[in-house]
């Protein structure tokens, strides 16, 4: 259903990702890059936690923003970028476990406005628990106007 | 307009803040703690940036979540906590400058549901630029149920 | 995945629906009532439109709120109600066509907080176009506290 | 702080408003039209209510969308329109009283993306109660592309 405008999106994402200082700080890795679909994984460490020993809500928002934004990026023309217009994250369960799986997808691809969603799953032993869900407005921009 | 239920909220916040591993990782400091009103400041470093050299949207969401959540916390009864139900962040301008000032406040104090807002201002020389605004549903919880 | 607490939810919804003056005014009918899943349909008329001849965004929000709220209602204990805590609607396409199909579902059932989503589809000839998507925090309340 | 691009915005809004079938159906009147600031008032009637005798959440969303959208419209160039990208409404109190006052304002004016907020106040005798607050992304469009 999505139109592919940029055949090189995988390589472009991998190059750009290496420059993401904040994602390096937290240690988030992309594990799947497909048209309109991004997955990533974070091994949970003490540094990701708030005072109760669960993942900080801002960390969860960071993963959601990242996979939703990259999902949008796979679907914009070559040479264009995306910036987050707005992001809403709903929190369902405390964020604990061995790791978090973040899945981002494009629900509606537009010329300027892309609507994306993200799911955050905590891996607890053999279980996966949906701990948060997000929706975002991702705005297509020219390279020189990128956020 | 807000009712103060916990006269010790300042001390409680300062104690809890020391256990916030994620906030220590990013280096965010609270600078003002009043009933229904929280301010904090982040000196911008390379580690906070995305690939274009601006603040990562997730970092901005983290500051918004933190000041909104603590603003709610000042207004709940002693022994209670707050967890984020949902957070929406709208991004206006690229996040660059010397520092970010985050301001959180309670707009509506409820028994279980508190509505809070946050503003994020970039300090650029003598200017302050509103780079993002957020709204959040903060849920009052018993200590043992905290997120 | 959802737990059924109230075996009479269908009858209760049908009775309550008859008292929804605003929904009678706009002419929205429920067509399917299942646990955690509600569908309804609105035949588009001139009275539903804004100045450009498309559905008013508020009308679309009304349908989203209604099906999301009733989806939550199917999943709360007997004698309880739900009120909308917050609702976010994202608009994708102009709202025109013969009718609008509204689908609401429960994504996360909680004791107090239920996270629901809604989709709005315009029927245009044999096509269905996703014109909007919504997410909502639906709060379980005791009958006497209902909104 | 806002730039005025269209000196005729008042006249244009008044003309366009007359074609808003849905707003005529519900009986909402604009009472103030200033640059970046719109107010309107709805006298509460039975037809606006849900099953508990309070304003339907969708009706409240309609007022929020309308004043936020018109606030954005006052701040776009002549010949341009605005469509709602997304709207989030947070509900604080049951909607009852004699009337509802809706106030919309532009928080951030952009070339394409305008961030607006709305407040909904119930008039109850001599009291005014904040019953809901909303934020919205309003997108500037060329006339032929209007929603």
User: Residue A49 is nearest to which of B21, B65, B69, comparing CB atoms?
Assistant: B21
Q: List, as ranges, residues 53-72 from D with C-beta within 8 Å of A.
A: none
Instruction: Calculate mean pLDDT across residues D98-116.
Output: 97
Cα D40 to Cα A116, B41, C56, D62, D80: the distances in Å are 33, 38, 17, 12, 22
Q: Report the distance separating Cα C130 and Cα A3, nearest Å.
A: 17
Chain B's closest residue to D109, CA to CA, is B92
Cα B70 to Cα A60, B34, C134, C138: the distances in Å are 18, 10, 28, 23
Residue C102 — φ and ψ, nearest 5°? -115, 130
Chain center to CA of C90? 15
Cα B5 to Cα B36, B76, B78, B111, B113: the distances in Å are 11, 6, 7, 11, 15
* Any domain includes B87: yes
pLDDT interval class at B46 (50, 70, 90): very high
pLDDT, residue B142, reads 85
Instruction: Calculate mean pLDDT across residues D108-128.
Output: 97
Half-sphere exposure of A89 (CA within 13 A, CB side): 35
Residue reference for tokens 């539903």: C48
Residue of D23, D57, D100, D143 to mutate for C, most C C-beta atoms under 10 A:
D57
Shortest Cα–Cα distance, A144 to chain C (Å): 26
Instruction: Calculate mean pLDDT across residues B31-47.
Output: 98
Q: Is B57 exposed, middle or buried (0-12, 13-18, 19+ CB in 10 A)?
A: buried
* Parts of chain A with a pLDDT under 50: 145-147
Shortest Cα–Cα distance, C89 to chain B (Å): 12
Percentage of chain B lying above the pLDDT 70 cut: 97
With both helix axes pointing from N to C terminus, report the angle between B57-73 and B9-17 in degrees, rounded to the nearest 10.
150
Chain B's closest residue to D137, CA to CA, is B90
pLDDT, residue A144, reads 52
* Any domain includes A1: no
- Starting at the edge strand found earlier in the chain, the sheet holding D81-91 runs C28-34, C37-43, C99-108, C113-124, C127-141, C81-91, D81-91, D127-141, D113-124, D99-108, D37-43, D28-34
How, if at all, do strands D113-124 and D127-141 pair? antiparallel
Instruction: Calculate mean pLDDT across residues C52-66.
Output: 97
pLDDT, residue A146, reads 43
Q: Report the distance separating Cα D3 and Cα D147, nearest Å.
A: 24
* Residue D88 at interface with chain A, using a CB cutoff of 8 Å: yes
* Residue B90 at interface with chain C, using a CB cutoff of 8 Å: no
pLDDT, residue D147, reads 43
**ipTM reported for the complex surpasses 0.90:** yes
User: Residue D86 is nearest to which of C81, C84, C89, comparing CB atoms?
Assistant: C89
pLDDT beyond 90 at D14: yes
> Is A42 in contact with A26 (CB distance < 8 Å)?
yes
Q: Which residues of A touch B81 (CB under 8 A)?
A: 52
Q: Which of A84, A132, A62 is nearest to B90 (CA)?
A: A84
* Residue A87 to residue B86, Cβ atoms within 8 A: no
Residue B9 pairs in a beta bridge with: none
The model's pTM is 0.96
User: Residue A54 is nearest to which of B55, B65, B147, comparing CB atoms?
Assistant: B147
* pLDDT single digits (tens) C73-127: 999 999 999 999 999 999 999 999 999 999 999 999 999 999 999 999 999 999 9
Q: Report the distance separating Cα B55 and Cα D49, nearest Å.
A: 45
pLDDT, residue C145, reads 45
Shortest Cα–Cα distance, A89 to chain C (Å): 10
pLDDT, residue A145, reads 45
Chain D's closest residue to A136, CA to CA, is D86
What is the total count of domains within chain B?
1
Shortest Cα–Cα distance, B39 to chain A (Å): 16
Q: Locate D66 and state its tokens.
A: 């309308």
* Residue A139 at interface with chain D, using a CB cutoff of 8 Å: yes
Chains A and C form CB pairs within 8 A to the count of: 30
Q: Which residue has the higher pLDDT, D1 or B89?
A: B89
Cα A116 to Cα A19, A71, B88, C92, C99: the distances in Å are 23, 7, 14, 11, 25
Residue of D2, D108, D119 to mutate for B, most B C-beta atoms under 10 A:
D108
CA dihedral (B73, B76, B79, B82) positive or negative:
negative
Residue B58 — φ and ψ, nearest 5°? -70, -30
* Any domain includes B24: yes
With both helix axes pointing from N to C terminus, report the angle between C57-73 and D57-73 in degrees, rounded to the nearest 10.
150
Chain B's closest residue to A48, CA to CA, is B22
> Is A136 in contact with A115 (CB distance < 8 Å)?
yes
* Any domain includes D26: yes
Query: Touching B: which chains, 3+ CB pairs < 8 A?
Result: A, C, D
* Any domain includes D35: yes
User: CATH number, domain at B65?
Assistant: 3.10.129.10
* Any domain includes D23: yes
C63-100 burial code (b ≥16 CB/10 A, e <16):
bbbbbbbbbbbbbbeeebbbbbbbbbbbbbbbbbbeeb
Q: Report the distance separating Cα C26 and Cα C40, nearest Å.
A: 13
- Contacts of residue B110, defined as CB under 8 A and 6 or more positions apart, other chains included, come to B140, D92
Q: Report the distance separating Cα A134 and Cα C55, nearest Å.
A: 26
What range defines the domain where residue C53 resides? 9-141
Cα C51 to Cα B109, D66, D117: the distances in Å are 38, 12, 21
pLDDT, residue D1, reads 80
What three-state secondary structure class fits B68?
helix
* Residue B14 at interface with chain C, using a CB cutoff of 8 Å: no
A4-11 long-range Cβ contacts below 8 angstroms, 24+ apart = A4/A35, A4/A74, A4/A75, A5/A75, A5/A76, A5/A77, A5/A78, A6/A74, A6/A76, A6/A77, A6/A78, A6/A79, A6/A80, A7/A78, A8/A78, A9/A33, A9/A35, A9/A73, A9/A74
* Any domain includes D4: no
Q: List, as ranges, residues 99-138 from C with C-beta within 8 Å of A.
A: 107-108, 110, 115, 130, 133, 135, 137
Shortest Cα–Cα distance, D21 to chain B (Å): 31
Averaged pLDDT score across all residues of chain C? 95
* Any domain includes B147: no
Chain D's closest residue to C65, CA to CA, is D58
Q: Which residues of B touch C134 (CB under 8 A)?
A: none
Q: Locate B13 and state its tokens.
A: 């916040």
pLDDT interval class at D145 (50, 70, 90): very low
* pLDDT single digits (tens) A94-114: 999 999 999 999 999 999 999
Which element (helix H / strand E) includes B37?
strand B37-43
pLDDT interval class at B144 (50, 70, 90): low
Residue of B137, B138, B140 to mutate for C, most C C-beta atoms under 10 A:
B137
* pLDDT single digits (tens) C23-58: 999 999 999 999 999 999 999 999 999 999 999 999
């Amino acid at each position: 259903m999505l139109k592919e405008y940029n055949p090189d999106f995988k390589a472009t994402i991998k190059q750009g990702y290496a420059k993401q200082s904040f994602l390096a700080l937290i240690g988030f890795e992309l594990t799947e890059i497909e048209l309109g679909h991004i997955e990533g994984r974070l091994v949970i460490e003490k540094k990701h936690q708030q005072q109760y020993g669960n993942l900080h809500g801002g960390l969860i928002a960071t993963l959601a923003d990242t996979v939703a934004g990259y999902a949008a990026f796979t679907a914009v023309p070559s040479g264009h970028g995306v910036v987050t217009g707005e992001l809403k994250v709903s929190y369902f369960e405390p964020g604990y476990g061995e790791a978090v799986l973040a899945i981002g997808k494009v629900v509606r691809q537009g010329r300027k406005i892309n609507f994306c969603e993200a799911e955050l799953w905590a891996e607890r032993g053999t279980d996966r628990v949906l701990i948060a869900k997000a929706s975002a407005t991702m705005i297509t921009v020219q390279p020189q106007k990128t956020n």
